[in-house]
Amino acid sequence: MSRWGKFFLQCMVLILFMGVIQDAYGAEGVQEAARTGAQLAWWMWPIILFVFTFVLGILAVVAGVGGGVLFVPIVSSFFPFNLDFVRGAGLLVALSGALSAGPGLLRRGLANLRLALPMALIASLCSIFGAMVGLALPTNIVQTALGGTIIAIVFIMATAKRSDFPEVEKPDALSSALRISGIYFEESVGKEIDWQIHRTPQGLALFVLIGFMAGMFGLGAGWANVPVLNLLMGAPLKISVATSVFLLSITDSAAAWVYVNKGAVLPLIAVPSILGMMMGTRIGVKLLAKAKPKAVKWMVVSILFLAGLRALLKGLGIWG
Partner 1 sequence: MNKLKPSEEQLRFASVLQTISLGSLGILLIGFVVYVSGILPSFVPVSKIPQYWGLRVDEFIEKAGMPTGWHWVPLLNHGDMVALIGVVLLAATSMLSFIMILPTFLKKKDTSYSVIVVLQIIILLLAASGMIVGE
- How buried is residue 159: exposed, middle or buried, by Cβ count under 10 Å (0-12/13-18/19+)? exposed
- Is the CB of 63 or the CB of 123 nearer to partner 1? 123
Tell me the residue length of the chain: 320
Whether 180 and 243 have beta carbons less than 8 Å apart is answered as no
Supply the minimum distance, in Å, between the C-beta of residue 5 and partner 1: 39
Supply the minimum distance, in Å, between the C-beta of residue 222 and partner 1: 17
User: Given the rule CB under 8 A, which of 59-67, 259-267, 299-307, 308-316 is the region that contacts partner 1?
Assistant: 259-267
- Is the CB of 112 or the CB of 149 nearer to partner 1? 112
Round to whole Å and give the CA distance between 254 and 257.
Answer: 6
Round to whole Å and give the CA distance between 298 and 79.
Answer: 23
Alpha helices per DSSP H over 167-266: 173-177, 200-217, 222-227, 237-262
Q: Does 149 bind partner 1 (CB under 8 A)?
A: no
Q: Does 70 bind partner 1 (CB under 8 A)?
A: no
CA dihedral 243, 265, 205, 234 (to 10 degrees): 20
Q: Which residues pair with 184 in a beta bridge?
A: 193
Binding partner 1 (rule: CB under 8 A), the pick from 63, 135, 242, 300 is 135
Supply the minimum distance, in Å, between the C-beta of residue 296 and partner 1: 27
Binding partner 1 (rule: CB under 8 A), the pick from 69, 128, 145, 221 is 128
Q: Draw the binding track, 226-255, toward partner 1 (x: CB under 8 A; -: no contact).
A: -----------------------xx--xxx
Q: Distance between alpha carbon 214 and the CA centroid of its chain, in Å?
A: 9
Supply the minimum distance, in Å, between the C-beta of residue 46 and partner 1: 7
Q: Does 257 bind partner 1 (CB under 8 A)?
A: yes
Nearby residues of 104 by Cβ (< 8 Å), 6 or more positions away = none
- How many CA atoms does the CB half-sphere of 247 hold within 13 Å? 35
Whether 259 and 265 have beta carbons less than 8 Å apart is answered as yes
Where does this chain bind partner 1 (CB under 8 A)? 38-40, 42-43, 45-46, 80-82, 84-85, 88, 92, 95-96, 99-100, 102-104, 106-109, 112-114, 117-118, 120-121, 124-125, 128, 132, 135, 139, 177-178, 183-185, 192, 249-250, 253-258, 260-272, 274-275, 278
